[in-house]
C-alpha cells in the first residue's frame, strides 16, 4: 500500500496540503477483535445500509421484532437512494474500517462488490461457525439464493425477492370480449388480443383504455422486458463466458416485440417506466402491466392507492414463449462487509431475517416477497397473499429454468448501461433494432474489461 | 410634459400587470405541486386531471414519515445558512478585490476560481469523500458547508464583481481620505450601499445549497443528511413506485421556509429603500 | 508613537516599509478567504480527477492504478455517445441560455416599478428555484404526460396538440429547455432586480422629467448601465448550465433514445452507474478544457462591454 502511495505522489499534478494529509492518513485501521453478540451491559451496535424505499420499514417494524430475540444488538438502518447506492456501497466496503456492518444490496451488485474482496463469505470460517444448525440453506429457491452467489461463494442471503410479472385487469379483458389470461397464455395469443384491448369503454368515441404499459423509458430496467421475452423463447442474454448472446434472430425478435408493445400502449408510453406504467394500470387505463410483484398490494388491495378491486386484478408470469413463461429476478441480498468489526452480530441479524421465522413474519405482516419454499408453500395469513405466493412459485420455477436474471459479472452495470443506451435508441426509433443490438454487442466486451 | 408623465403612468400599469401575469405563469407548477400534495394517490393520476377532489392530509401525516423530514430539514437549514453566509462574505470580498483593488495576480486567481465551476461535480464528489473519510469528516455539516462553498464562492465573487464595478469610485476614495482602512471602507461604505445585491446573492446561494443533491449523497449518511436525499429516495422507490403525494408534500414543506425568509428580506429591503437608507 | 532615539529618516523608511507591507496585506485580505477555501477544497479533487483520467482506475482502493497515458481520452474521443451528448448539450445551451437571460432581465425590468406588491412578487418569484430538481422534474413529468398531464388538457381547449412531450426527440428537448428556463429565470430575475435597485435613481428621474418613455429609458439608460451585470450573470449562468443534468435525470432520463442526454448526464452515468471512473474523469477534463476556452471568449467579450462606456 505504501508503495502505491509513493507512486501516486510522484504523479500528482497539483500537490496540495490536503493530498499529503490524505495520503498520510491512508492505511489506518487494522481489524480488531469481533464484538460478538453483546451483553446487557455492553450491547453491540450494528449499522445497516438499505435502499431508502424500505430502510424505514426495516428500522421501525422489523428491528423491534428482531430485538425480541436478540435484545443486546442495537440496529441502526441508514437509507440510501437507489441510483447512487452502488457507488456509495463500493466506497464503504473498500474502506479498511467500513461504516456499515450489513449492506443490503441489489443482486446485480453482488459480483461487483464481491470482486473487490470487500464482502464476507457466509458459508465458511467464523460465519459458518456462527450459523444455527437449524438454518436451512436448501429451503431457499435456487433461483433466489443464486442471486447472492459469485464464483462459487455465497456472499448474500435473499431478503426481498422481486420478480417481474404480468398483472392484468379482468374487467378490461371482459369489456373487450376476451377471456382472462391464464399461465398458459402464449405470446402469439397475447399479441392477437392486444389490438382488441385498445378500446373505448364508455362509448364516447374516444379510446380510453389501452392494452399494455410497462418500461419503455431510457433506464436500466427497461431491457429486462425484452430479456424476459427472449428467455421465454429459450434465448439467452449472455453466454457462460459473459459474452453477448442476444445479437441474433431471437434477440432481434424479442426487442421487436418489446417495441411492438408501444403500439398498444397509452400515448406517452415511450417515457413511461416503473411509476407511470403502474399508475396507468391502477387507474384502470391499461389491461396488462409488466411490473414487479412488490407492487401487488398497492395495486389490488389498498384502496388509498388503487382504483381497482382485488377481484379485478390477476397476476402471473409473462406470456409463454416457445419454451416457457417469462420473468426477471430482482433480489435484494443481505451482505456483510469483510472488514466489519461486528460480523457476528451482523450475521445474527441477517440470519434471523432470512430464517423461516423471519420470512414468515415479514412476508405475512409486511407483504415483503419471500424466497423460501417453506414460506411460499405455506398458507399465508391474509387471503390477498394467496395469488402472490402462487405467482411467485411459478416465477421462481421459470426463472431458474431460463436463468432469467441480470448478467453476473464484476462489471455488469457497465454492460447493462450499454444495453440500456441502445435499447432506448431502438425503442425511440432512432436506429433499427438490429443495428442497436449489433452496436451493443460490439461495445460490451470493452465495457466488461 | 404632462402627457409624457401620463404615458409613463400607463406604461407603469401595463408593466405591473404583465409582470404579475408572468409571475403567475411561473407559479402554476408550484400550485399544481401543492394541490397534488393534498390528493389521494388515486386522484393524482386521473385523466383528465382533476381540480376537484376530497383533500387529504395523509401524505403530510404518514407519507413523509419515512423521510425523516424534521431532522433533515434542520440539517438543510444549517448547511444552507452556513454555506450561504460563508460564501457571501468570502465571495463578496474577493469580488471587491477583483473590481476595485489592484493586486498583481488576483485577476488570474479570480478567473481560475471562476473556471473551477466548470468542473463536473460528479468528478469532484468521490475524491472529496476520500479526503473527508481520511480526516474523519464524513457525515458532518462542516464538510457539506465547505463543499458547497466550492460552487457558491465563484458565483458570488463574479456577480458581486459586476455589482462593484457599477458603483461610483468616489465613495471609498472619500472614505479612505477620511481615515478608514480598506477593510473599514469596504464594510462601512460599500457593504451598506450594496445590500440589495448582497442579499439577493445570499438568497440565491442559500437556495443553491438548499437543493443540492450529489455532494450531499456522497458526503453524508445520516447525521448530516439533507432533504434532497429524502426526495431522491421517495422518487426512486423500487418497491412501490414513486409516491407522488409524499414527494410533493416534502416539496411543499421545503418551499415554505425559504419563501417566508425571502419575503421578509424583500420587505425589509424595500422598507430600507423607501427610507432612503440605501439611496446611492 | 516613536521612541526618541530613532531619527526622522529611520522612522520614515520604517513606516514606509510597514505601510507597504500593511498595504499589501490589506489588499490580499480581500482575496485570501475565498482563495484558501477554494484551494483547500478543490486542489486535491482536481488533481485526483486529472490523475485517474490518465490511469486505469483501481476499484479496490478507489485510487489511480497503472498509468495508461492518453488511453482513456482516446476511448472517450472514439465513443459516438460522447460526441452525441456534446451536440445535445450545445443545442440545450443555445436555446436555454439566451431565453433565460432575456426573460430574466425582461421580467425584472417589468416588475421594477414602485408599487406595493413588488416585494411579494419578487418573493414568490423565487419559488421555482427552491423546489429541488427531483421534485421539479417530477412535477413537470406529471404535467406534461399525455395521459394525465394538465398541459395537453389545457392546450386541448385551444385545439392545440395533443403532444407527446417526452416521446418526440424535439419536443423532449423543448421540454427540458422549458423546465430549465422555468427553474432558472427566477434566479436571473433575483439578480437583475438587485441590479436595477442599485442603479442611481437620479438619472431616471432626470430622464423622466425630460419626457423619456419607459422604452427609451430601458434602451438608453438601463441597458448600458446594466451591461457589466448582464455579462456577469451570463457567465455565471453559463457555467451553471453546462453542468446541468439533474433536471434531465428526473424528467426525461436522457431519452427518448439519446435525445436529451447531455454531457454531464453521460459523465454521471459512466461514473455512478457503470463505475467507469477513469473514462468519466477523462470526459470531465475534456469538458473542463472546452468550458475554459468558451468562458475565456465570453470574458473577453464582457470585458469589452465593461470598457465601452
Q: What is the pLDDT of residues A418-444, one digit of tens each?
A: 999 999 999 999 999 999 999 999 999
- What's the pLDDT score for residue A431? 93
Same domain? A132 vs A277: no
Is B47's CB within 8 Å of A56's CB?
no
Closest C-chain CA to A84? C272
What's the rounded Cα separation, in Å, for the pair A104 and C179?
A: 35
Residues of A (230-289) whose Cβ lies below 8 Å from B:
274-275, 278-280, 282-283, 285
To the nearest 10°, report the CA torsion of A181, A259, C264, C137: -50
pLDDT > 70: what percent of chain C?
94
Domain region containing A151: 39-162+330-400
A24 belongs to a structural domain: no
Q: Hey, what's the torsion of the CAs at A192, A194, A196, A198, to 10 degrees?
A: -160
| Low-confidence stretches of chain B (pLDDT beneath 70) | 1-9, 11, 269-280
Q: Are residues A120 and A200 in the same domain?
A: no
Q: Answer whether residue B6 is part of any domain.
A: no
pLDDT, chain A, mean: 87
Angle formed by the axes of helices B106-115 and C223-242, nearest 10°: 50
CB of B33 less than 8 A from some CB of A: no
Do A412 and A318 share a domain, yes or no?
yes
What is the per-residue pLDDT across C203-253, written as a single tens digit (0 to 9) for each?
A: 777 887 887 777 787 788 878 888 888 888 898 899 989 989 989 998 999
pLDDT(A171) > 70: yes
Does residue B18 sit within a domain? no
Looking at the complex, report in whole angstroms how far the Cα of residue A284 sits from the nearest Cα belonging to chain C. Answer: 12
- Of the three residues A361, A382, A400, the one that is the final residue of a domain is A400
Cβ proximity of A184 and A352 under 8 Å: no
Looking at the structure, tell me whether residues A293 and A362 fall in a common domain.
no
Q: Are residues A259 and A374 in the same domain?
A: no
How confident is the model over A370-399, as pLDDT tens digits? 899 999 899 988 888 898 898 898 888 888
CB nearest to A12's CB, from C51, C141, C252: C51
Q: In chain C, what are the domains? A: 8-53 (no CATH), 71-307 (1.10.3720.10)
Q: Is A424 on the interface with C (CB under 8 A)?
A: yes
Q: pLDDT tens across A62-102, in order?
A: 899 999 999 999 999 988 888 888 988 998 998 888 999 99
Q: Does A207 touch chain C (CB under 8 A)?
A: no
Cβ of C276 under 8 Å from any chain A Cβ? Answer: yes
- Inform me whether the C-beta atom of residue C153 falls under 8 Å from chain A C-beta atoms: no
Residues A384, A340, single domain; the answer is: yes
User: Which residues in chain C have their CB less than 8 angstroms from residue B5's CB?
Assistant: 208
- In chain A, DSSP finds a helix count (H) and a strand count (E) of 20, 10
Cβ density class B232-258: b for 16+ within 10 Å, e for less? bbbbbbbbbbbbbbbbbbbbbbbbeeb
B133 Cα to chain A: minimum distance (Å): 9
Per-residue model confidence as pLDDT tens digits over A347-360: 999 999 999 999 99
Please report whether residue B266 resides in a domain.
Answer: no
Residue B47 in any domain: the answer is no
Task: Tell me which chain A residue has its CA closest to the CA of residue C58.
Answer: A116
pLDDT over 90 at C201, yes or no: no
Q: Could you tell me if B117 and C34 are in contact, meaning their C-beta atoms sit under 8 angstroms apart?
A: no
Q: Is residue B50 part of a domain?
A: no
The confidence score (pLDDT) of residue A27 equals 36
Long-range contacts of residues A6-12, Cβ cutoff 8 Å, at least 24 apart: A8/C51, A8/C63, A8/C64, A11/C51, A11/C54, A11/C64, A11/C67, A12/C47, A12/C51
Reported as a pLDDT band with limits 50, 70 and 90, residue A41 is confident
Contact B44, B21 (CB under 8 A): no
d(CA B154, CA C235): 11
| C212–chain B nearest CA distance, Å | 7
Task: Identify whether residues A192 and A209 lie together within a single domain.
Answer: yes
Number of domains in chain B: 1
Higher pLDDT, A293 or A23: A293
CB contact, 8 Å: B272 with chain C?
no
| Structural domain includes residue B167 | yes
Give the burial class of B171: count Cβ atoms within 10 A of its Cβ; 0-12 exposed, 13-18 middle, 19 or more buried: middle
Mean pLDDT of A126-135: 88
Q: How far is CA A381 from CA A306, A366, C272, in A?
A: 22, 11, 41
Q: Decide if B97 and C200 are in contact by the 8 Å CB cutoff.
A: no
CATH number of A240's domain = 3.40.190.10
**E-strand stretches of C17-168:** 55-58, 63-67
Tell me which residue range forms the domain holding B211.
Answer: 71-229
In a domain, B130, yes or no: yes
Total domain count, chain A: 2
User: Looking at the domain assignment, is residue A221 inside a domain?
Assistant: yes
Write the CB contacts of B176 (distance below 8 Å, at least 6 apart in sequence).
B182, B185
For C101-126, what is each residue's pLDDT tens digit?
999 988 888 877 777 777 777 778 88
Same domain, A431 and A300: yes
pLDDT at A30 over 50: no
pLDDT tens profile A245-282 = 999 999 999 999 999 999 999 998 999 999 999 999 99
Phi, psi angles (nearest 5°) of residue B24: -65, -40
A54 part of contact set with chain B, CB < 8 Å:
yes
All three cell numbers of B175: 472614505
d(CA A296, CA A315): 8
- A176 and A318 both lie in a single domain: yes
Residue of B nearest to C36 (CA): B90
The CATH number for B214's domain is: 1.10.3720.10
Residues A153-167, mean pLDDT to the nearest whole number = 92
For B241, residues 6+ apart whose C-beta sits below 8 A from its C-beta are: A274, A275, A278, A279, A295, A298
Would A27 be classed as within a structural domain? no
From C100's Cα to the closest Cα of chain B, the distance in A is 13
Q: What are the tens digits of pLDDT across the range C6-20?
A: 567 777 777 777 777
Of residues C26 and A61, more confidently modeled: A61
Is B21 part of a structural domain of the chain? no
Of B4, B15, B114, the CB nearest to C113: B15
In sequence order, which ranges of B38-177 are alpha helices (DSSP H)?
41-44, 58, 69-100, 106-115, 121-134, 141-165, 170-177
- What's the confidence (pLDDT) of residue A26? 39
Question: Would an 8 Å CB–CB cutoff place B66 in contact with chain A?
Answer: yes
Rounded to 5°, the CA angle C85-C91-C93 comes to 100
A89 within a domain of the structure (yes/no): yes
Chain C positions touching B203 (Cβ under 8 A) are 126, 190
Q: Which of A400, A415, A435 is the last residue of a domain?
A: A400
Contact C119 B269 (CB under 8 A): yes
**Alpha-carbon gap, residue A226 to A254, rounded angstroms:** 5
Tell me: pLDDT of C153 over 70. Answer: yes
* DSSP three-state, residue A154: strand
Confidence (pLDDT) at A104? 94
Is the CB of B280 inside 8 Å of chain C's CB atoms?
yes
pLDDT of residue A304: 85
> Do residues B202 and B84 touch, judged by C-beta distance below 8 A?
yes
pLDDT > 70 fraction of chain A, expressed in percent and rounded: 92
What ipTM did this prediction achieve? 0.86
Residue A245 lies in a domain: yes
A86 & A105 share domain: yes
Predicted local distance difference test score (pLDDT) of residue B8: 57
Give the mean pLDDT of chain C.
86
Amino acid at each position: 500500500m505504501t508503495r502505491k502511495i509513493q507512486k501516486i505522489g510522484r504523479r500528482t499534478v497539483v500537490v496540495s496540503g490536503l493530498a499529503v494529509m490524505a495520503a498520510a492518513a491512508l492505511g489506518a485501521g487494522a481489524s480488531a477483535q469481533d464484538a460478538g453478540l453483546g451483553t446487557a451491559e455492553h450491547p453491540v451496535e450494528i449499522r445497516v445500509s438499505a435502499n431508502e424505499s424500505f430502510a424505514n420499514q426495516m428500522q421501525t417494524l422489523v428491528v423491534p421484532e428482531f430485538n425480541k430475540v436478540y435484545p443486546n444488538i442495537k440496529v441502526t438502518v441508514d437509507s440510501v437512494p437507489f441510483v447512487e447506492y452502488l457507488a456509495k456501497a463500493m466506497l464503504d466496503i473498500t474502506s479498511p474500517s467500513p461504516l456499515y456492518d450489513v449492506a443490503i444490496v441489489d443482486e446485480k451488485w453482488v459480483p461487483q462488490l464481491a470482486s473487490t474482496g470487500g464482502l464476507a463469505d457466509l458459508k465458511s470460517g467464523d460465519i459458518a461457525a456462527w450459523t444455527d444448525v437449524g438454518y436451512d440453506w436448501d429451503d431457499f429457491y435456487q433461483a433466489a439464493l443464486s442471486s447472492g452467489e459469485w464464483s462459487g461463494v455465497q456472499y448474500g442471503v435473499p431478503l426481498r425477492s422481486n420478480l417481474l410479472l404480468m398483472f392484468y385487469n379482468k374487467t378490461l379483458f371482459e369489456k373487450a370480449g376476451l377471456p382472462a389470461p391464464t399461465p398458459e397464455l402464449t405470446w402469439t395469443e397475447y399479441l392477437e388480443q392486444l389490438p382488441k384491448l385498445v378500446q373505448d369503454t364508455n362509448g364516447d368515441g374516444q379510446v380510453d383504455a389501452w392494452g399494455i404499459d410497462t418500461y419503455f423509458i431510457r433506464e436500466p430496467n427497461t431491457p429486462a422486458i425484452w430479456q424476459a421475452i427472449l428467455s421465454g423463447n429459450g434465448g439467452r442474454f449472455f453466454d457462460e463466458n459473459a459474452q453477448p448472446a442476444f445479437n441474433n434472430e431471437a434477440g432481434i425478435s424479442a426487442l421487436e416485440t418489446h417495441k411492438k408493445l408501444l403500439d398498444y400502449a397509452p400515448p406517452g408510453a415511450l417515457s413511461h417506466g416503473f411509476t407511470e406504467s403502474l399508475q396507468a394500470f391502477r387507474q384502470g387505463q391499461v389491461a396488462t402491466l409488466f411490473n414487479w410483484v412488490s407492487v401487488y398490494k398497492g395495486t389490488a388491495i389498498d384502496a388509498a392507492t388503487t382504483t381497482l378491486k382485488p377481484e379485478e386484478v390477476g397476476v402471473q408470469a409473462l406470456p409463454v414463449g416457445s419454451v416457457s413463461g417469462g420473468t426477471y429476478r430482482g433480489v435484494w441480498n443481505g451482505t456483510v462487509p469483510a472488514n466489519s468489526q461486528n460480523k457476528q452480530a451482523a450475521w445474527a441479524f441477517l440470519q434471523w431475517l432470512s430464517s423461516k421465522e423471519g420470512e414468515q413474519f415479514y412476508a405475512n405482516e409486511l407483504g415483503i416477497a419471500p424466497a423460501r419454499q417453506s414460506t411460499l408453500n405455506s398458507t399465508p395469513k391474509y387471503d390477498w397473499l394467496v395469488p402472490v405466493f402462487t405467482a411467485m412459485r411459478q416465477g421462481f420455477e421459470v426463472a431458474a429454468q431460463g436463468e432469467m436474471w441480470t448478467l453476473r459479472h464484476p462489471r455488469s452495470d457497465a454492460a447493462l448501461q450499454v444495453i440500456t443506451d441502445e435499447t432506448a435508441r431502438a425503442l425511440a426509433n432512432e436506429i433499427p433494432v438490429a443495428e442497436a443490438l449489433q452496436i451493443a454487442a460490439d461495445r460490451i466486451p470493452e465495457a466488461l474489461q | 410634459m404632462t402627457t409624457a408623465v401620463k404615458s409613463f403612468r400607463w406604461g407603469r400599469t401595463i408593466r405591473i400587470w404583465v409582470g404579475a401575469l408572468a409571475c403567475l405563469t411561473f407559479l402554476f407548477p408550484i400550485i399544481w405541486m401543492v394541490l397534488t400534495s393534498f390528493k389521494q394517490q388515486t386522484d393524482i393520476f386521473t385523466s383528465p386531471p382533476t381540480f376537484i377532489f376530497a383533500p387529504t392530509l395523509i401524505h403530510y401525516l404518514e407519507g413523509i414519515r419515512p423521510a425523516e423530514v424534521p431532522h433533515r430539514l434542520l440539517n438543510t437549514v444549517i448547511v444552507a445558512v452556513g454555506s450561504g453566509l460563508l460564501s457571501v462574505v468570502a465571495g463578496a470580498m474577493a469580488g471587491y478585490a477583483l473590481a476595485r483593488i489592484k493586486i498583481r495576480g488576483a485577476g488570474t486567481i479570480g478567473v481560475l476560481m471562476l473556471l473551477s465551476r466548470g468542473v463536473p461535480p460528479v468528478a469532484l464528489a468521490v475524491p472529496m469523500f476520500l479526503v473527508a473519510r481520511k480526516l474523519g469528516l464524513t457525515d458532518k455539516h462542516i464538510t457539506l458547508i465547505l463543499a458547497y462553498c466550492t460552487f457558491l464562492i465563484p458565483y458570488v465573487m463574479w456577480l458581486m464583481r459586476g455589482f462593484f464595478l457599477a458603483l461610483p469610485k468616489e465613495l471609498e476614495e472619500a472614505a479612505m481620505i477620511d481615515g478608514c482602512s480598506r477593510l473599514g471602507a469596504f464594510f462601512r461604505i460599500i457593504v451598506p450601499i450594496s445590500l440589495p445585491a448582497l442579499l439577493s446573492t445570499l438568497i440565491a446561494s442559500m437556495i443553491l445549497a438548499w437543493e443540492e443533491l450529489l455532494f450531499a449523497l456522497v458526503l453524508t449518511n445520516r447525521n448530516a443528511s439533507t432533504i434532497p436525499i429524502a426526495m431522491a429516495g421517495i422518487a426512486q422507490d423500487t418497491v412501490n413506485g414513486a409516491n407522488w403525494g409524499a414527494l410533493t408534500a416534502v416539496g411543499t414543506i421545503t418551499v415554505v421556509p425559504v419563501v417566508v425568509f425571502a419575503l421578509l428580506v424583500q420587505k425589509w429591503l424595500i422598507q430600507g429603500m423607501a427610507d432612503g437608507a440605501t439611496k446611492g | 508613537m516613536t521612541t526618541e532615539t530613532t531619527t526622522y529618516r529611520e522612522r520614515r523608511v520604517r513606516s514606509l516599509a510597514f505601510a507597504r507591507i500593511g498595504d499589501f496585506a490589506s489588499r490580499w485580505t480581500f482575496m485570501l478567504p475565498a482563495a484558501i477555501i477554494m484551494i483547500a477544497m478543490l486542489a486535491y479533487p482536481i488533481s485526483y480527477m486529472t490523475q485517474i483520467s490518465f490511469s486505469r482506475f483501481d476499484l479496490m482502493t478507489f485510487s489511480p492504478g497503472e498509468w495508461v497515458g492518453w488511453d482513456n481520452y482516446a476511448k472517450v474521443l472514439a465513443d459516438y455517445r460522447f460526441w452525441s451528448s456534446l451536440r445535445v448539450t450545445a443545442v440545450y445551451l443555445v436555446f436555454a441560455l439566451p431565453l433565460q437571460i432575456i426573460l430574466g432581465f425582461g421580467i425584472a425590468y417589468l416588475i421594477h416599478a414602485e408599487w406595493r406588491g413588488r416585494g411579494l412578487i419578487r418573493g414568490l418569484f423565487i419559488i421555482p428555484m427552491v423546489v429541488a430538481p427531483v421534485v421539479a422534474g417530477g412535477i413537470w413529468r406529471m404535467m406534461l404526460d399525455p395521459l394525465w398531464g394538465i398541459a395537453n388538457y389545457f392546450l386541448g381547449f385551444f385545439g392545440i396538440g395533443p403532444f407527446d412531450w417526452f416521446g418526440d426527440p424535439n419536443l423532449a428537448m423543448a421540454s427540458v429547455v422549458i423546465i430549465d428556463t422555468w427553474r432558472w429565470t427566477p434566479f436571473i430575475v433575483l439578480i437583475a432586480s438587485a441590479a436595477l435597485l442599485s442603479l442611481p435613481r437620479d438619472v431616471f428621474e432626470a430622464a423622466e422629467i425630460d419626457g423619456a418613455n419607459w422604452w427609451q429609458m430601458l434602451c438608453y439608460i438601463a441597458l448600458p448601465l446594466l451591461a457589466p451585470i448582464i455579462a456577469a450573470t451570463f457567465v455565471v449562468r453559463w457555467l451553471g448550465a453546462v453542468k446541468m443534468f439533474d433536471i434531465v435525470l428526473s424528467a426525461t432520463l436522457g431519452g427518448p433514445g439519446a435525445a436529451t442526454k447531455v454531457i454531464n448526464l453521460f459523465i454521471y452515468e459512466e461514473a455512478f452507474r457503470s463505475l467507469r471512473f477513469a473514462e468519466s474523469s477523462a470526459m470531465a477534463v475534456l469538458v473542463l478544457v472546452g468550458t475554459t476556452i468558451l468562458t475565456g471568449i465570453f470574458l473577453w467579450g464582457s470585458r469589452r462591454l465593461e470598457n465601452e462606456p
